[in-house]
Structure 1
Amino acid sequence: MAFRLTLIRHGVAQGAEQAIFGHSNPPLSTLGREQLAARWAELSAHPVDAIASSTLARAADFALDAAMSLGIALHLERGFDEMNLGSIDGKAKADWSAAEHAAWDAWQHDPAAHPLPGGETWDAFNLRVQTALNTWIASGEAEHRVLIAHQGTIKAILLSALGLPAARHSQFWLAPAGCITLWWDQDWPPMILGIQNHLPDAR
Structure 2
Amino acid sequence: MRLTLIRHGEAEGASEAIFGQSNPQLSALGRAQMQARWQMLSAQQVDALASSTLARCADFALDCAQQLQVPLHLDHAFQEIHLGCIDGKAKSEWSDEDHTHWDAWQANPRQSPLPNGEGWDEFQQRVLKALDAWIAQGEVEHRVLIAHQGTIKAILLAAFNLPPERHQQFWLTTAGSVTLWWDQHYPPMLLELSNTLAAD
Normalised by the shorter chain, which TM-score bucket?
Answer: over 0.9
Alignment of structure 1 residues 1-203 onto 2, 5 Å? 3-201=1-199
CA shift, 1:71, in A, is 0.5
Q: Distance in 2 between matches of 1:109 and 1:165?
A: 11
Q: What stretches of structure 1 of length at least 5 have no aligned partner? A: none
Q: Does structure 2 retain, via aligned residues, the 8 Å contact 1:49–1:143?
A: yes
- Inter-partner Cα distance in structure 2 for 1:179 and 1:32: 14
Identity %: 63
After superposition, what is the alpha-carbon deviation per residue over 1:145-184, rounded to whole angstroms, capped at 9, x for unaligned? 0000000000000000000000000000000000001112
Deviation at 1:108, TM superposition (A): 0.3
Runs of 4+ in 1 over 2 A off after TM superposition: 185-188
Task: Return the letter of the residue paired with 1:49.
Answer: D
CA distance 1:90–1:147, change in 2 (3 Å): same
* Matched residue type, 1:191: M
| TM-score, normalised with respect to structure 2 | 0.98
Question: Partners in 1 of 2:47 and 2:175 — Cα distance?
Answer: 20
Cα 1:150–1:127 shift into 2, 3 Å? same
Q: Once the 2 structures are TM-superposed, how far is the Cα of residue 46 of structure 1 from its aligned partner? A: 1.5
> Following the alignment from structure 1 to structure 2, what is the Cα–Cα distance between the partners of residues 199 and 26?
23
Distance 1:198 1:44 in 2: 16
In the alignment, structure 2 segments of 5+ residues that lack a partner are: none
TM-score (norm 1): 0.96
Aligned counterparts of 1:161 and 1:187: Cα–Cα separation in 2:
14
Q: What is the CA–CA distance in structure 2 between the aligned matches of 1:188 and 1:84, rounded to whole Å?
A: 33
1:152 and 1:12 mapped to 2: Cα distance?
15
The one-letter code of the counterpart of 2:158 is S
RMSD: 1.0
Write out per-residue CA displacement over residues 6-33 of structure 1, whole angstroms, 9 at most, x where no aligned residue.
0000000000000000000000000000
Q: For the structure 1 residues 148 and 137, does the alpha-carbon distance in structure 2 shift closer, same or farther, using more than 3 Å as the test? A: same
2: CA distance between counterparts of 1:176 and 1:146?
16
Number of aligned residues: 200
